[in-house]
Amino acid sequence: MSKTLSPSNGLFQDVPASAAASIPHSVPAQDGSKFAFGLVLILTFVVFARPEDILPAFGALHLTLVMCICAPLACVVALAIGSAPLQRPRELAIVLLLTIWFCIGAIFSYWHRGSFDLLTQIWLRTLVFYLVLTQTLTSVGRIRKIVWVFLISELIATTASLLAPGHAVGDEDRLAGVSAGIFGWNFLGIALSVSLPYMAALYISRRSIFRAVLLLLTAGTSMWMLVLVASRGGFLNVIVSIVLSSLLLLRGTKRARSVAIVLVLGFAIMIGRAPGVFWDRIETIWGGSTSTSNVNAASAKESTDGRENLLQNSIKYTLQNPVFGVGVGNFAVYNGNMLHRADAWYGTHNTYTQASSEAGIPAFLLLLFLLMTMVIHAKKAATVFARDPADAELRLIALATLIAVLSAMFGIFLMHLLYNFLLYYLAAISGALWAIANQRPTVAEAKVVEAPRIDAQALPVRRIPEWRLR
């Protein structure tokens, strides 16, 4: 016998093993998509770890381009021969609509060549990455693997940056990092805020010394690098992630609470050993350092003023071009030309206004719709998985995805990542979790199997002698 939900009281009751076995634990992963998923794992590593930044010799291999060709081809073959089902989550429809709007807006863009280059060189790779993830993330095992690839990429990139600081130092004695991707410079904060809840979920889900050490190393190197980067937005983003993880994920068991304690203490220790540039910049958040004699504080104050101007300009350009914006990838050049200043060629430092100013208000609304869909799917998936103790790991991953998306929604308010891989990586995971959750029976469907009824009329009648009735 095994356990399932009773529709009357929500408690677990006994049902025959044959009935319990019919309840699927994931979207069936066909054998034909195994090879495609293997290529997707490599593509994910190449996209996030960026080995060519660590060892320039890898640049000659053009790994990202090669994997962006091979992985989708393998997916197409698997779909064509019928060995893998077509996955169509709601997130996919939104991303495709966003792509169509980008392409239409490029016709009316301020600088056509700039929009064309962004669509063909940047957005196309992001779209391919998202599409192959969507078609291959069909089981809990695959979701777990894709999360591990992200975390291992983070460990490699941050360790390389810490071990080779000589050529990775930015202005004001801040560590820039060797990676030109999401695990470097000011982007590290949002990457860490996304990875922390997954680290916590993987640690809680299974007891393993090797796993615990690997996760601890990843968290430690990332937190220390974030301190050396001295990113104010990243600092706030990680705090938001830790708070959300403590409230939504790290409650209920001693093992979970111990993770919250380790995260808070570890982050506090890292901050306590932070260099002066970190404190000079962090103090400007609450206006505690206003002296222009301090080079770091003065630079931070200038950066804050510059970002406020960029935010104001991006809103102004949105109102001036509400339908299609100034064109995808055009904000920097448009802003510089409008102000007639060569030093004004900067991005919006805000993904929401990046969408509205470069692709119009419809793109902004599609972005919000995508983010809200990711939140809803992750939350609903966590609720569904909470019904069955066998889905404990899936529930943890769903909660981690919910926290990661909420943290990213805060983080992208401080930086422009509309065309970056990170948001669509989370979109693929949230869509996959919801697809798996949809395979679970609802409470009404998970009825307790009743004992077969007996037809009294069909039973043989036994006559009783008259003397026994007297």
Radius of gyration (C-alpha) of the chain in whole angstroms: 27
Assess if residue 247 is contained within a domain: yes
The whole-number pLDDT of residue 380 equals 96
| Best CA proximity match to 154, nearest among 193, 206, 204, 201 | 193
The whole-number pLDDT of residue 190 equals 96
Assess if residue 453 is contained within a domain: no
Mean pLDDT value of segment 168-179: 70
pLDDT digits (tens, 9 = 90+) for 185-205: 889 999 999 999 999 999 999
Does the CA dihedral 295-301-304-309 come out positive or negative? Answer: negative
C-alpha of 242 from chain center: 15
Considering only 93-107, 180-194, 253-267, 445-459, which range has the smallest mean pLDDT? 445-459
Assess if residue 12 is contained within a domain: no
Phi, psi torsion values for 5, nearest 5 degrees: -80, 140
Residue 154 and residue 50 in contact, taking contact as beta carbons nearer than 8 Å: no
Does the CA dihedral 208-144-222-285 come out positive or negative? Answer: negative
Degrees, nearest 5: CA angle 38-180-60: 60
Assess if residue 130 is contained within a domain: yes
How far apart CA 308 and CA 74 sit, in angstroms, is 46
C-alpha of 436 from chain center: 17
How far apart CA 16 and CA 3 sit, in angstroms, is 9
DSSP 379-411: HHHHHHHTT-GGGHHHHHHHHHHHHHHHHHHHH
Assess if residue 40 is contained within a domain: no
H-type alpha helices, 164-294: 188-205, 209-229, 232-248, 254-272, 276-282
The whole-number pLDDT of residue 1 equals 43
Mean pLDDT value of segment 345-371: 95
Mean pLDDT value of segment 392-396: 94
pLDDT at residue 418 is higher than 70: yes
Phi, psi torsion values for 313, nearest 5 degrees: -65, -40
Query: What domain count does the chain have?
Result: 1
Considering only 18-32, 125-139, 172-186, 193-207, which range has the smallest mean pLDDT? 18-32
pLDDT at residue 183 is higher than 80: yes
Assess if residue 402 is contained within a domain: yes
How far apart CA 23 and CA 259 sit, in angstroms, is 32
State the CB neighbour count (10 A cutoff) for residue 98.
Answer: 22
How far apart CA 458 and CA 224 sit, in angstroms, is 78
pLDDT at residue 96 is higher than 50: yes
The whole-number pLDDT of residue 182 equals 95
Assess if residue 21 is contained within a domain: no
pLDDT digits (tens, 9 = 90+) for 256-307: 888 889 888 988 898 888 888 888 888 877 765 444 446 666 666 666 777 8
Assess if residue 266 is contained within a domain: yes
pLDDT digits (tens, 9 = 90+) for 403-415: 999 999 999 999 9
pLDDT at residue 399 is higher than 90: yes
How far apart CA 347 and CA 351 sit, in angstroms, is 9
pLDDT digits (tens, 9 = 90+) for 16-58: 333 333 334 444 445 568 899 999 999 999 999 999 999 999 9
Supply the range of the domain harboring residue 173.
90-442
Q: For tokens 């007996």, name the residue.
A: 454
Q: What is the pTM of this model?
A: 0.85
pLDDT at residue 168 is higher than 50: no
Residue 125 and residue 64 in contact, taking contact as beta carbons nearer than 8 Å: yes
Query: What CA–CA distances, in Å, run from 257 to 164, 201, 213, 237, 262?
Result: 35, 12, 18, 21, 9
Q: How is residue 278 written in tokens?
A: 């970190």
- Average pLDDT in the chain: 85
